[in-house]
């Protein structure tokens, strides 16, 4: 009986760690491979995205796949964010791109951060800014991860951010260096 209890406890711990990591490595986790996630990836309320704050769903012919999320102003007392849940890919750096193509996207310091959840606590591997007001329409290079790890890309909007912030598609191109 005691053996059964130990095995059951080990199973619970294993399930916890597997479910906490949540996002498994993608087949694209090879040198030169890429992953693309849209806002509301393939469906409104997609499990590939997480939203904190009153992001508005809007349609536009210039948007990637015809729609995007928009935050007209910054929060007054908290932080809003939009997340793209990419696969946790260890062993490869990520060159990160954001799709920006709407004149309402005017945040001059949109904060993009990437977190890898394969370790606890999650490690931050990217912390960069993109001027959405001056970014050309289409794919814009945001930055490269500082470690050979990728994961959840977060667009952070703190209090006092200037201009409206847009969340459309995001892309990672994997690299071994």
Gap between the Cα atoms of 138 and 111, Å rounded: 18
Gap between the Cα atoms of 42 and 10, Å rounded: 36
For the stretch 74-114, pLDDT in tens is 998 889 999 999 877 778 889 999 999 999 999 999 999 99
Rg (CA), the chain: 18
Average pLDDT (51-58) is: 95
Confidence of residue 147 (pLDDT cuts 50, 70, 90): confident
List the beta bridge partners of residue 174. 94
For the chain, domains (ranges, CATH) are: 23-175 (2.60.120.260)
pTM of the model: 0.81
């Amino acid at each position: 009986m005691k053996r059964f209890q130990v095995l059951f406890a080990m199973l619970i711990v294993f399930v916890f760690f597997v479910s906490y990591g949540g996002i498994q490595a993608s087949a694209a986790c090879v040198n030169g491979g890429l992953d693309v996630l849209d806002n509301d990836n393939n469906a409104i309320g997609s499990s590939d995205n997480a939203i904190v704050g009153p992001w508005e769903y809007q349609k536009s012919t210039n948007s990637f796949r015809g729609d995007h999320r928009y935050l007209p102003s910054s929060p007054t007392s908290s932080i809003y964010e939009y997340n793209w849940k990419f696969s946790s890919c260890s062993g490869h750096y990520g060159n990160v791109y954001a799709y920006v193509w709407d004149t309402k996207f005017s945040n001059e310091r949109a904060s993009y951060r990437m977190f890898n959840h394969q370790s606890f606590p999650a490690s931050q591997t990217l912390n960069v800014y993109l001027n959405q007001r001056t970014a050309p329409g289409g794919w814009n290079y945001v930055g490269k991860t500082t470690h050979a790890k990728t994961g959840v890309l977060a667009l952070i909007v703190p209090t006092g951010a200037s201009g409206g912030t847009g969340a459309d598609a995001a892309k990672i191109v994997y690299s071994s260096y």
